[in-house]
């Protein structure tokens, strides 16, 4: 199972919107709606921010939203804030019962 493909870095100014893409195959991202996203601040464990493509857990800011088209899932951060600087990882369930993560994207707030 190959890692899902993400851009290495994305940047934006405060208040802007940015989108992070996560590209897989029909065996993972494109095969179902079990895509999740995680935010990881330096030195900390990842935190779930989106599950099942577009659902936000309780307590996660409405500024985070998710979507999917074909084999590509996307995470959008609207109204970018300094506190959003972190690494972001997508994950997908795979048909074999396993999971696969993305290569990770570093978000920088200019």
Partner 1 sequence: QVTLKESGPALVKPTQTLTLTCTFSGFSLTTNGMRMSWIRQPPGKALEWLARIDWDDDKYYSASLRTRLTISQDTSKNQVVLTMTNMDPVDTATYYCVRTPRTEYYFDYWGQGTLVTVSS
* Contacting positions for partner 1 (CB under 8 A): 1, 3, 34, 36, 38, 45-48, 51-52, 57, 89, 91, 93, 96-104
Place of tokens 């897989």: 24
Could you tell me how many residues make up the chain?
A: 110
Which residue, 64 or 89, has its beta carbon nearer to partner 1?
A: 89
Between 13 and 97, name the residue whose CB sits nearer to partner 1. 97
Tokens of 87: 């690494």
Cβ-based nearer residue to partner 1, 14 or 99: 99
Query: Is residue 23 a contact partner of residue 72, using CB atoms and an 8 Å limit?
Result: yes
CB of 100 to partner 1, least distance (A): 7
Can you name the residues that pair with 10 across neighbouring β-strands? 107
What is the nearest approach in angstroms of partner 1 to the Cβ of residue 75? 14
DSSP 3-state of 31: helix
Q: How far is the CB of 13 from partner 1 (least distance, A)?
A: 26
Q: Residue 87 to residues 39, 70, 84: CA-CA distances in angstroms?
A: 6, 24, 9
- The residue (of 34 and 78) whose beta carbon lies closer to partner 1 is 34
């Amino acid at each position: 199972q190959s890692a899902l493909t993400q851009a290495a870095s994305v940047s934006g100014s405060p208040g802007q919107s940015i989108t992070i893409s996560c590209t897989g195959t029909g065996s993972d991202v494109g095969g179902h709606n079990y895509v999740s996203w995680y935010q990881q601040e330096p030195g900390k464990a990842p935190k779930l921010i989106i599950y099942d493509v577009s659902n936000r857990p309780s307590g996660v800011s409405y500024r985070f939203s998710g979507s999917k088209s074909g084999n590509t899932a996307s995470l959008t951060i609207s109204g970018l804030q300094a506190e959003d600087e972190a690494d972001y990882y997508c994950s997908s369930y795979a048909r074999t019962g396993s999971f696969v993560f993305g290569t990770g994207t570093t978000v920088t707030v200019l």
